[in-house]
Structures are given as C-alpha cells and as structure tokens.
Amino acid sequence: MEQIIESNIRQWLEGNFDESVKTEIRRMQHEQPQELADAFYRNLEFGTGGLRGIMGIGTNRMNKYTVGMATQGFANYLNQSFGKGNVTVVVGHDSRNNSRTFAEIVANVMAANDIKVLLFEALRPTPELSFAIRHLGCQGGVVCTASHNPKEYNGYKAYWNDGAQLVPPHDKNVIAEVEKIQGVEAVKWSGGEQNITLLGEAMDQAYMDMVQRLSVYPDVCKQQHDLKIVYTSIHGTGITIVPKVLHKFGFTNVHIVEEQQEPNGNFPTVVYPNPEEAEAMSIGLKKAQELNADILLGTDPDSDRVGIGVKNHRGEWVLLNGNQTAVLAFNYLIEARKTKGIQQPNDMVVKTIVTTEMIDRIAESAGVKCYNVLTGFKWIAELIKAKEQNEHYVIGGEESYGLMIGNEIRDKDAVSAVALICEMAAYEKNQGRSLFDKLLMLYLQHGFYLEDLLSITKKGMNGQAEIAAMMEGFRTQPPSTIDGIAVVQLLDYQLKQGRDLVSGNDWPIDLPKSNVLQFVLADGSKISARPSGTEPKIKFYFSVKESLSAPADYDKMYTMLKGKIEAIIQELKLK
C-alpha cells in the first residue's frame, strides 16, 4: 500500500500538473501525511454510475484531473459506439462547489474529441438532463453532482442514449476505457470549443411542458389552486424549475423557504442536504407550521429526491418516509387512471427489491403488473426498455425518496414528483381528506407496512474491507432466527439464488448479479443488506407488517412495529 501511495504521489510531483497542486502535496507531506495517504492510496473508482468522492488533490479525489481522465475514457467509448462525428452529449451540473468548473471541463474534453456538446447555461435539475437526452436524440450525457452527499463531495453521473445511467454492457465497457487512461497526458483538454452550444430557456420550457402532461386531474388543481404549499430547494437546483412548474399546474399559494432558496454548495443551513434527513427539512417544517400549510416539500441539490411533510391524524406535522410517499404516488396514479377510464390492460409499475411490498399488494389488487428490480433507477429504465413494445409504463420508484413518472424520462425526478404530490394533496382535499388520511385508508385495505433504514458508515482505507467482512459474515453464517422468528428464506443476489431454509429448495433469481442479501422471516418481515454504490456505507433495510383493523389502532400498531424493528437491529448487533 505504501508503495502505491508513494508511486502515485511521485507521478503527480513529476507529471504535468499545476505547480499549485505540487506545492500543496509537499505541504501535506509535512503537515497532513495521513490525509495525503488517503488522497493517493488508490484511483477514485469510476463505478457503474460514474464518479463520486471528496473534492481535493489526489488520485482518490474529485478534481479536474480525475474528471478529465474519466471524460476522456467516456468520450473514447462514445466515439467507438456511434462513430466519430456522430455523437452529441448533454452536460449539466448542480449547485455544488466546483460543479460548474467540472461541467466545463467535461464539455471541453468531449468537444476536443469531436463530440457535439449541449451544455446547460447554468445549474439545472438532473432529471432535466435525462429528459434532454431523449428529447433531442443525443447519444449520452454527464451531470456533475454528488446528489445528497455532504458539501465536501462532488460526483459525475454518466448517461446513455436512452436518458438513463449506464447499464451492462456499457457500464463495464466505459469503465474499461476509463482505466486505459493512464495519465493526464492522454486527455484532450481543449481544441473543440466550436462544438459547444448552450442550452437554456427553450429546454426548460420543453421539460416543464412534459411535467405538465403528467397531470391526471388538472381541473382539481384549479379547484384547489390555493392549496397552501411550502417548498424548499435546500440550496439546490430545484429553485430554477419547481416554482414555475407549480405555477403551470395552477397552484397560486406557494411559499418558498427563503433561508434555503439560494443555490449554495456550502449548504449553510444543513449538515446533509438530503430530504431524507429530518434536520434538512426542519426549517421548512417550521414554516409549514407557522403558515398552517397543507403540505411541505423539499428537494435535494440536484432535484432527483423529494421529501414531504404532512399533518397526521392528530393534526401534528410529520415527515413521511420514502416508502410512504411511494405508496401514495403509486396508488394515486393507479386509482386515478382507473377512475378516469385511461388505465390500460398492459399498464405496469416498477419498484426496487428494497422498496415496500405494500406497492406490490396495491398493484395486484388493481390488476396492474408490478415488477421488482435492483436498487437504482437505471434498472427501472432498463426494464422499461425491455418491456416498452408490449407494456405501458406508468410509474417507478424506490424507498430512497425517488419517483420516475411517465415515459419521457429515465431517471428519478423530484420536479415532476413535487407536482404530482401537490396534485394528490389537492385531490384528497377535494374529498375532505389529507394525504395522511389516505395513507391510513390504504393501511386498512392492504395491511400496515412499516419500513426503516439503518446506514453504517465505514470511511477511509479500511472502510471497504470492513463492509465486505460484514457482508461475508451474513452470507456464510446467516441467522436461523431473528427476534425469535424463524428465517424461512435467504435471497442472495450476488449468487443469483434464493433458498427456502425450511425445505432446502433453491431457485434462480432472474436479475443481474448484485451484492445484496435478504432474509425473509416466517411472519413476512424482511431484512435486506447492501453496500452503497455511491458512499462508504452499508445499508440495512427493515420491513415489518401487521393488519390494521381501525384507524384508532394506528398509534398502538406503529409503536409495536417500531419496537419490532429495534429488536431486530439489536439482535443483529447493528448498533
């Protein structure tokens, strides 16, 4: 390891790097040797989704050199795949520090490789890039973002010609091309500036028109135009589009959280700019309470995740989790399409294997096919591509606060999700109900499913090894009981095999190989474990369920199910 670190540092000190970079390396050698080692102990991995890492100097950091080399590899593969001179890509970025700089580097390197580049004139939501690729018939795209990660991070998401992030075989092929770029000398940094064109208001309008076409009940939005909406962009890109979309839907009573409306890569009001975190939504929640609003919505820096707050059955403000939001959204589109007579016999919805099975039950009861795919919207997009000749895609989503609505986009989209959720709230208000009232109705009908997520962070050089050891332990020595309940099934997506632990029978799992384990208990509870693909974390997903016979039993049942999840966590020694 020390030899690798020393070799990488020597290459940077002796290579064609800015003198300021070399000066900083020498300073760190004396003052911060451990941080320097972490910055150079490996190359920042170009994974199946692209790059993501802490910004700074070094081979293991996001900087102009790692971004440039990744782009050179991606450009080489695009030219191989479509032919030189036949490639157009869209390039975008979010509000993070250095995102515009990285986006311009991507644009310049692509352009220098005889690729036509459509560069967004300023920050825009990631889903608009996915839409633009499809709308303009491009061959690929790149967005510079680290999504919901802390401010120290940035990233690089690579897209293919269907507007989705890379899937096999392109993901591995691009990785192979990136790995061939052995140094900054192999990068074409400039020389094709004439190939760059800016994208602006016209694309915004096309994207917003698409979102407006997703509306099922535009008349209800007009009837409830004064629905009191509080929205926070959490210092991200949503502020550029979301208020305009809500206006197009007819909503006239929208209140922006001013403290968080300015795009700012330091995210000064939050620790994590993630609507999954209660802390990130706290300022918006306070404003919603003060205004006695109907609904609160928040989007992350690149506007692909949405969090919502509503009043519960006691009139108290609560934040719904991603599973609850997905349940409401899936059910709304399924029900609304049926009520309006536009449901098709071949309608399908798609969710991921770690997302609540309550959606499967809702779809089944409505006669709609529900597919399950691996975690990540690229897999939802891949399934749509495989089925689109014979089946009609309606909505897809996953528990991590993401929804993908309609057929004109291939990545999760918080902009259209905000609009749809507000329409849902307007529809329920028209019925004299809140979204939480509707959720209770669904629990009564399909069962009370409660989910939770525990993320364990393992940073630094040893982090990956620790995460791998945890997965190996669960894989080779799976528990026979959890919380006193027998484990009846073990689903190993790495081995692509399911096993009935009672009968001993095995069956194949018809999904791509992925490092995920799931334990299914005799009472229907499910525990899933998977390392994160974008962060130094291992994630554990818990799902428990019980029948709910009356709304008055909700609090008691919630406490019982929450206790069950805590008992599972304690038994597995995850805390």
> Which pLDDT does position 47 carry in this prediction?
82
Which member of 95, 99, 130, 147 is catalytic? Answer: 147
Reply yes or no on whether 7 is catalytic. no
- Give φ, ψ of 208 to 5 degrees: -65, -35
> Which pLDDT does position 463 carry in this prediction?
82
| Tally: H helices and E strands in the chain | 18, 23
The reply to whether CATH 3.40.50.150 applies to domain 448-571 is no
For residue 234, give the nearest of 356, 106, 125, 324 by alpha carbon. Answer: 125
Helix 2-14 vs helix 19-31: crossing angle, to nearest 10: 150
Q: How would residue 230 be classed by pLDDT, with cut points 50, 70 and 90? A: very high
Q: What is the mean pLDDT of residues 301-311?
A: 98
Q: What is the mean pLDDT of residues 131-144?
A: 98
Q: Do residues 93 and 85 touch, judged by C-beta distance below 8 A?
A: no
**Each residue's pLDDT tens digit, 470-484:** 999 999 888 999 999
Using the predicted structure, report yes or no on whether residue 334 has a pLDDT greater than 90: yes
> Which pLDDT does position 536 carry in this prediction?
78
For residue 57, give the nearest of 71, 67, 48 by alpha carbon. Answer: 67
Using the predicted structure, report yes or no on whether residue 37 has a pLDDT greater than 70: yes
SS (H, E, C) 283-299: HHHHHHHHHCCCEEEEE
Using the predicted structure, report yes or no on whether residue 248 has a pLDDT greater than 70: yes
**Each residue's pLDDT tens digit, 436-464:** 999 999 999 999 999 999 999 887 667 88
Q: 207-446 and 448-571: same fold?
A: no
Q: What is the mean pLDDT of residues 298-326?
A: 97
Structure tokens at 196: 């760059």
C-alpha count within 13 angstroms, C-beta hemisphere, residue 44: 29
**Each residue's pLDDT tens digit, 48-74:** 789 999 999 999 999 999 999 999 999
Structure tokens at 334: 């399924």
* Cis ω before 479 (30° cut-off from 0): no
Write the CB contacts of 467 (distance below 8 Å, at least 6 apart in sequence): 458, 531, 536, 537, 538
> Which pLDDT does position 118 carry in this prediction?
98
Q: Do residues 515 and 531 touch, judged by C-beta distance below 8 A?
A: yes
In the CATH scheme, what is the code of domain 48-199?
3.40.120.10
DSSP class per residue in 69-135:
HHHHHHHHHHHHHH-TT--EEEEEE-SSTTHHHHHHHHHHHHHHTT-EEEEESS---HHHHHHHHHH
**Each residue's pLDDT tens digit, 169-219:** 999 999 999 999 989 999 999 999 999 999 999 999 999 999 999 999 999
Q: Give the whole-angstrom CA distance, residue 443 versus residue 312.
A: 14
Domain boundaries, the chain: 1-41, 48-199, 207-446, 448-571
**DSSP category for residue 190:** S
Vertex 17: Cα angle to 16 and 22 (nearest 5): 125
For residue 90, give the nearest of 113, 46, 121, 45 by alpha carbon. Answer: 121
What percent of the chain is predicted at pLDDT more than 70? 99
Write the CB contacts of 13 (distance below 8 Å, at least 6 apart in sequence): 22, 25, 26
> 207-446: CATH homologous superfamily?
Alpha-D-Glucose-1,6-Bisphosphate, subunit A, domain 3 (3.40.120.10)
Using the predicted structure, report yes or no on whether residue 534 has a pLDDT greater than 70: no
Using the predicted structure, report yes or no on whether residue 340 has a pLDDT greater than 70: yes
Q: Give the whole-angstrom CA distance, residue 359 versus residue 370.
A: 8
Least confident of 133-142, 227-236, 415-424, 477-486: 477-486
**b/e string for 164-178 if b means 16 or more Cβ within 10 A?**
bbbbeebbeebbebb
> Which pLDDT does position 458 carry in this prediction?
84
Structure tokens at 456: 């364990």
> Which pLDDT does position 461 carry in this prediction?
65
Using the predicted structure, report yes or no on whether residue 288 has a pLDDT greater than 70: yes
> Which pLDDT does position 188 carry in this prediction?
98
The identity of residue 447, as a single letter, is G
Quote the mean pLDDT of the chain: 95
Using the predicted structure, report yes or no on whether residue 324 has a pLDDT greater than 90: yes
User: Where do we find the tokens 């919805």?
Assistant: 349
